[in-house]
Amino acid sequence: MDDPTLPASEITALLGRGTHFEGKLHFSGRVRIDGTFRGRIDSEDLLIIGEGADVEGEIHVAQLIVRGGRVDAQVRAARSIELYVPAQVTGSLHAPEIFMDKGVQFSGSCTMAPLDSPGPGREATV
């Protein structure tokens, strides 16, 4: 994600509204999903899930930002997870840093610890 040729706000790929994808997604850079995705997502970079998105499966990324939409997934982020209204998130979240905006709908488990941490970290179930 620290590509010096890529502006800080530049999106490298977009799965727009009205699109549907099933399978495995591997990427570098910054990817935004505004459509429907079912499957597994792997990256060492940033994934943004926008309003209107519908994402189910497993997500393994460095950083996840959920700006809206619906997410039903097991999420593991090496750096951070950020959830903003009007996001609806179900599943398990595991990251060293997790931010949840007031009003986000969340149901599942949340573990705040480094991914390679042997201990349970700080866990909360909502």
Question: Any idea what DSSP says for residue 116?
Answer: T
CA distance 17 to 45: 22
Interval 81-117: pLDDT, tens:
999 999 999 999 999 999 999 999 999 999 999 887 5
How many other β-carbons are positioned within 10 Å of the β-carbon of residue 25?
18
CA distance 124 to 82: 16
Q: Among all chains, which residue has been given the structure tokens 């309003």?
A: 51
pTM (2 d.p.): 0.85
**Residue 11's pLDDT band (boundaries 50, 70, 90)?**
confident
Interval 40-88: pLDDT, tens:
999 999 999 999 999 999 999 999 999 999 999 999 999 999 999 999 9
Residue 20 has pLDDT above 60, yes or no: yes
